[in-house]
């Protein structure tokens, strides 16, 4: 059995390390060692679920997951609904604090599967009340932002339905980034293991790009130029709408698919706008980070 070490801080910056270790495991059965995890965000949780799903679908059996002894981490995973989604993916044991508890006020959306348009509507309906409290009280956004966020959430979930041809998950949580930004932020993650942007857009756009067509080109086509898989103009413009709204709020928006990632990077972040030759991961993975308004805004 191959042991895959889960990063101590499992978030939008370190999931690639997990994916790289997964590839090095080859065809061996895997034990995910998460005993030393001290921090995890929605993107990290969904990335772990995705990694386990890849192996389950490959091997036909669940991988073993060793959870951290830290009660705070397991309690948080329980509040976010991680264990409910992980039951069919991993073998694991949870004690006391790790069992599901009622969501705390800073949890906007527990891990929720998205498999249909009906799921998208249910997700948006579920977060309406909490979104109002979190966006206004925690992030200092004006009242109309609640409606705008609902549209953004709907569009980002619809991306699973439109591009994936496979189920996915969505989750959102607020944090106080004391050292990194000095403000509260909302982290929204959407992950699927479907066909990805390259395959989704190939029929309409691959021929025009010729030999350049690949994961990076497909992401550039969708992210920068509004390319969609639809022949009719005006359909499938969700990525462009999401970009505009996140930019208005001074946030970060990144999309990973296959071996590439593209992002709108705000001034408070130092990530590259385009990354290639990443460890391959099926489907598409979206991360949106919205910072609280500063006093000068």
The domain limits of the chain are 1-102, 103-297
Instruction: Identify the residue with better confidence: 151 or 296.
Output: 151
- Residue 75, classified by CB atoms within 10 Å of its CB into exposed (0-12), middle (13-18) or buried (19+), is middle
| Mean pLDDT computed over 243-254 | 95
Q: What is the pLDDT of residue 291?
A: 96
CA 155 to chain centre: 14
1-102 and 103-297: same fold? no
Hey, which bits of 128-209 come out as E strands?
168-177, 183-192
pLDDT of residue 171: 95
Contact 191, 167 (CB under 8 A): no
- The pLDDT value recorded for residue 11 is 93
Q: Which of 18-32, 105-119, 145-159, 269-283 has the highest mean pLDDT?
A: 269-283
297 CB neighbour count, 10 Å cutoff: 10
d(CA 241, CA 226): 10
Top-level CATH class of 103-297? alpha beta
Distance of alpha carbon 197 from its chain centroid, rounded?
Answer: 15
CA 280/CA 195 separation, integer angstroms: 12
User: pLDDT band at 225, cuts 50/70/90?
Assistant: confident
pLDDT at 234 over 50: no
Element (H, E) at 40: strand 39-40
- How high is the pLDDT of residue 36? 94
* Predicted structure pTM score: 0.92
One DSSP character per residue, 231-290 reads SSTTSS-HHHHHHHHHHHTT-EEEEEEETEEEEE--TT----SEE-SPPPEEEEEEEEEE
What would the mean pLDDT of 254-262 be, rounded to a whole number?
A: 97
Q: Which of 2, 53, 48, 60 is nearest to 28 (CA)?
A: 2
pLDDT, residue 235, reads 45
What is the topology classification, in CATH, of domain 1-102? Transcription Regulator spoIIAA (3.30.750)
Q: Report the alpha-carbon distance of residue 67 to residue 148 in Å, rounded.
A: 37
Percent over 90 (pLDDT), the chain: 64
Per-residue pLDDT at 116: 86
Q: Locate 110 and state its tokens.
A: 């527990």
- 3-state SS record for 52-95: HHHHHHHHCCCEEEECCCCHHHHHHHHHCCHHHHHCCCEECCCC
pLDDT of residue 230: 58
Contacts of 47 (CB under 8 A, 6+ apart): 10, 15, 18, 19, 191, 285
Nearest to 161 by CA among 236, 49, 234: 236
The DSSP letter of residue 109 is: E
Tens of pLDDT, residues 195-219: 999 998 998 899 989 999 999 999 9
């Amino acid at each position: 059995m191959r042991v895959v070490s889960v990063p101590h801080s499992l978030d939008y910056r370190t999931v690639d390390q997990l994916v790289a270790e997964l590839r090095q495991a080859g065809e061996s059965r895997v034990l995910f060692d998460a005993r030393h995890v001290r921090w995890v965000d929605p993107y990290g949780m969904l990335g772990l679920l995705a990694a386990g799903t890849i192996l389950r679908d490959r091997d036909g059996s669940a991988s073993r997951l060793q959870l951290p002894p830290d009660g705070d981490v397991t309690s948080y995973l329980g509040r976010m609904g991680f264990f409910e989604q992980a039951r069919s993916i991993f073998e694991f044991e949870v004690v006391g604090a790790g069992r599901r508890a009622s969501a705390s006020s800073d949890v906007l959306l527990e891990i929720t599967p998205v498999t249909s348009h009906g799921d998208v509507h249910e997700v948006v309906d579920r977060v309406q009340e909490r979104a109002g409290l979190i966006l206004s009280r925690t992030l200092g956004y004006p009242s109309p932002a609640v409606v705008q966020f609902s549209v953004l959430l709907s569009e980002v979930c619809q991306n699973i339905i439109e591009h994936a041809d496979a189920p996915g998950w969505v989750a959102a949580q607020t944090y106080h980034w004391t050292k990194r930004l000095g403000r509260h932020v909302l982290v929204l993650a959407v992950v699927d293991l479907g066909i990805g942007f390259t395959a989704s857009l190939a029929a309409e756009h691959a021929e025009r790009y010729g030999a350049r067509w690949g994961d990076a080109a497909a992401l550039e086509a969708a992210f920068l130029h509004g390319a969609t898989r639809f022949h009719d103009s005006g359909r499938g413009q969700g990525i462009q709408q999401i970009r505009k709204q996140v930019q208005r709020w001074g946030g970060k928006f990144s999309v990973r698919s296959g071996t590439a990632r593209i992002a709108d990077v705000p001034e408070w972040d130092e990530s590259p706008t385009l990354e290639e030759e990443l460890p391959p991961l099926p489907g598409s993975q979206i991360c949106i980070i919205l910072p609280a308004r500063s006093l000068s805004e």
